[in-house]
Structure 1
Amino acid sequence: MTRAAAVGRWLRAGLGLLRAGMCLLWPVIVLEELGSSLFDTALRMVVLDRTANATDPDGPRSSKSQQIAMSNFYMIYNLIIKFTPILPALLLARLGDRGWRRLPLIVPLLGYIVPRVALLLVVICGWPIQLMYGAGALFGLSGGYAAYWPGVMTLASLASTAADRSKTLMRVELLYGMAGLVGSLVSGHLFLLYSASVSRGTILLVVSTILAVLCLLDAVLLLQVKDVSSGEEEAESYSLIPPSAHSNAPSQRNLPNIALLFTAAVLYSTAVGGAINVLGTFVLREPLSWDAKQVGYGNAAGCLIFITSYLGVIVLRRYVSETSLIMIGMLSFASGIYFMTFVTATYLFYLARSLNLLALIPLPIIRSLISQQVPKSSYGMTLTALQLCLKFAAAAYIPASTKIYQHTLDWLPGFVFTLASVFSVLALIPISIVGCRT
């Protein structure tokens, strides 16, 4: 009886800890990214299969025409999912700042289920891959990533003080990266599980959809909003502003810093987004010619950067300022992506990625610094405004990087990576100015 009572106490304690953990933000982040990493591999391989099986009037597609078809699909799909969320994301951010803090997470998480179900229908029923355009539009109308990620960052900012915010937001990125790492490592293996009655990729997409549903249920039923005390927040806000300036209106003294931080974020996002936009297609062409497992491992290498960037922040923040950390991260990306220009073998790809080990530092710290310039009642709208600025930048870099890639396939397929390196270096300029001002 005593042993049974002890076991019962341990079970109750374990369930209590599990319930307490599920009330936090991290299960939502982990479940969502696990599902997304599985979906990303599935989408890439399905698009590869469909473009490989398509034919031109003159016969089967050549390698170049297949690359053009794939890059055109991703250009249209990415533009849809980046621009349909603009108005819904603004509306959700406004409602979030008025007290509905979980809404910018719950509504997009509902939308995350749609593309997974649509791709599952494409695989099982043989429907055209263009169905994903409509699924992407529905996903965007839910707010998409433009609402979800600022919502995550807003909740994380509310739960931290200004002094610890950079570390907190980097911890969010760490969880995101670790989940993506695990999901990417297994995604290629799950994609290849099929039989005569189960199409290739079906099991992978079913698991991804289940994870999306569990994530939504967690956000609806268990997630709780934590907020630091108003007195603590008021004492530690606006940490970039000299104490002598605290008597001025926040909007007047914070505006130059906010504008510079927005500019740096847009330039850096253009560099990263332009490179990543074609990287997935680049590794599928000769001489790399990756399969599903290698695609998963490549995605895992990208997710590993989240972990190394977090460790870099933990170590380096003791010795350098936050603006210096941002510049280190930008230089890390610039060097690695420039090296990617000349990659002709898989081992060279991973060598280039190893130079990007600190490349995820800039944007979380930029978000942290921006949040320190505004009252907490404006966190949601400000961070969403930043996310929408990045979306508008995508209107330029997605089609531009796609067309540059297509026109340089014959003489230097990696030329777009050199341009990305240039934009990353340009982003150092506004950050340097912020460093001088503060």
Structure 2
Amino acid sequence: MKRSFLVEPVVALYAFGCFLFFPVAQQYVYRRLWEQLTNTSYPITDNSPNCGSNGSRNHSKDFEEVQRQASYFSLYSELLSLIPSLIVTILLVTYSDRAGRKMAILPPLFGTLIYILTYLAVSYFELDVYILIGASLLSSLFGGFGTFLGGVFAYIADLCETDRERTLRMTGVEMIIGLFSGGAAISTGYFLAATGFNYPFITSALCLCLNIVYAIFFLEESRPRDSRVSGGSSPQSALKEIVCGFFFMLSLGSCKAKTVLTLMILIFTTLSFANSGGLSMVTLYELNEPLCWSEILIGYGVALSTTVFLASYVGVRAFTHCGVSQLLIVLLGILSVMAGMIMSAFAKTTLMMFLVRVPLLLSIMPFPVLRSMMSKIVSSSQQGALFACVSFMQSLTSNISSAIFSYVYAHTVAWYSGFSFLLGAGFCLIPLGLLGVLGFIGVDVPEMKPNPEEENPPEDGNGEGDERRPLLS
């Protein structure tokens, strides 16, 4: 059977399945909590943004209490799944340097499928909604979105030889995530209005099943399994190899190379903290007064966000073609995040909330550019260790930021619901400062030395060294 080196279909199906599921899941929990706390059915509205303007004071208090409890529900889910997901991410993505990249790509697909099927069971049989927190913990044992992305970006780094090719292809992955997540999101509102919650959950599960089939049977491995792994190794030996992968990545190379790599990781993670934390509250903010968006408007809003990914891809491609410094591209992206957060904090009408996407148009640019810059510094035998570290830090900061911003939102929603966006904009000052330090030091550093064990790679069964960077044919 002929296999393909195109990992993009896996990303597309995963993005479509997940982002068809996530907005629906959040709205499902919100409605279940509304019914439990108020003992009334959830108020179904039209597309008017003023659904709460004529409500009683008690009705407004109900909205505030449900918003608060929904924030706590998100907080508990994030905290319980955080540690297992981080451990699995760092183990699988690092070990993919030895066992192949599919070792990091496949498990999150199974974990997400289990998570979706649990939501389907709770919705269909009307089980206790807090079962979903346990499902979050269970799915995290298979890794999460960070594990998946770590495997995908390490896969791409294996295939791309030039810095420009690596940057554009990683940016393309970000664009695919945005486009397919937006396509899924725009259908969620109509799905909910026409069929309820069960059919979106079923559709998401089918996407994950199809994705698993493609990844297992049609996706070619970019990095052949090390003969030492194929021949079998003890768990202690495998763990030692993982630890060594991190050790060599962080210890080899010049002092400047290690400093530059550390600064890039810090910029990446602090920006991820501000961006993911602030934007994690968008759906709750849109459900709250005075916006009171319906599921269809929420779908339109998420779908409109696809322009952010598309514009960021076009921006990176255009700036790269014109020879613009990668640090300047990152700077423009950080400023875009800050502007979008500040505008979100003062958006009180439907039109203004839609226009928030305009200043956010370049906000995705820093992430693929920083990944490409970091990938250039480390050797080919350490790509898994690098992206394990990046995914670990991104997952850690994303989960912590979601928990922190959920807590902040729950305690500020009564007096100023947009405060969490201003907080996110303030946190962007940290990566801005670190970027200034990086610009002062300079990013022109030699590639770090490879792992000594890779200087004489083991021979396979045919007596030939394995090929570390297969090219697209």
Q: Which residue of 2 aligns with 1:6?
A: none
Deviation, 1:158, is: 1.2
Task: Give per-residue Cα distances to partners, 1:44-64, cap 9 Å, x unaligned.
Answer: 22112111101269x987111
Q: Secondary structure at the match of 1:250?
A: coil
Query: Do 2:290 and 2:349's aligned partners in 1 also have CA atoms closer than 8 Å?
Result: yes
Deviation, 1:168, is: 1.3
CA distance in 1, matches of 2:201, 2:404: 31
Identity %, equivalent residues: 23
AA in 2 matched with 1:345: T
Q: Which residue of 2 aligns with 1:325?
A: 329
Query: Do 2:94 and 2:388's aligned partners in 1 also have CA atoms closer than 8 Å?
Result: no
Q: Which residue of 1 aligns with 2:451?
A: none
Query: Do 2:101 and 2:152's aligned partners in 1 also have CA atoms closer than 8 Å?
Result: no
Question: Which structure is higher in RCO with an 8 Å CA cutoff and minimum separation 6?
Answer: 2
Q: How does 1:260-339 map to 2 (within 5 A)?
A: 260-317=263-320, 318-339=322-343
Deviation, 1:391, is: 3.0
2:418 pairs, out of 414, 417, 420, with 414
Query: Do 2:276 and 2:401's aligned partners in 1 also have CA atoms closer than 8 Å?
Result: yes
Give the gaps of 5 or more residues in structure 2. Answer: 40-57, 225-250, 443-473
| Count of residue pairs brought into register by the alignment | 396
Q: 1:37 to 1:392 in 2, by over 3 A?
A: closer
Q: Which residue of 1 aligns with 2:432?
A: 428
Query: Do 2:117 and 2:205's aligned partners in 1 also have CA atoms closer than 8 Å?
Result: yes
AA in 2 matched with 1:70: A
AA in 2 matched with 1:134: G
TM-score for both structures, normalised by structure 1: 0.86
CA distance in 2, matches of 1:207, 1:391: 26
- Does 1:142 pair with 2:142? yes
- Does 1:119 pair with 2:119? yes
CA distance in 2, matches of 1:394, 1:167: 24
Q: Which residue of 2 aligns with 1:350?
A: 354
Deviation, 1:395, is: 5.6
Q: How does 1:9-20 map to 2 (within 5 A)?
A: none
CA distance in 2, matches of 1:111, 1:128: 21
CA distance in 2, matches of 1:73, 1:251: 46
Q: 1:103 to 1:338 in 2, by over 3 A?
A: same
Task: Give per-residue Cα distances to partners, 1:40-92, cap 9 Å, x unaligned.
Answer: 121022112111101269x9871110100111111112233333212222221
Greater shift after overlay, 399-408 or 276-285? 399-408
AA in 2 matched with 1:151: G
Deviation, 1:346, is: 1.2
Query: Do 2:97 and 2:223's aligned partners in 1 also have CA atoms closer than 8 Å?
Result: no
Query: Do 1:42 and 1:204's aligned partners in 2 also have CA atoms closer than 8 Å?
Result: yes
Give the gaps of 5 or more residues in structure 1. Answer: 1-15, 195-199, 229-247
The CA RMSD over aligned residues, in Å, is: 2.2
CA distance in 1, matches of 2:412, 2:135: 31
CA distance in 1, matches of 2:412, 2:378: 44
Q: Which residue of 2 aligns with 1:232?
A: none
AA in 2 matched with 1:436: F
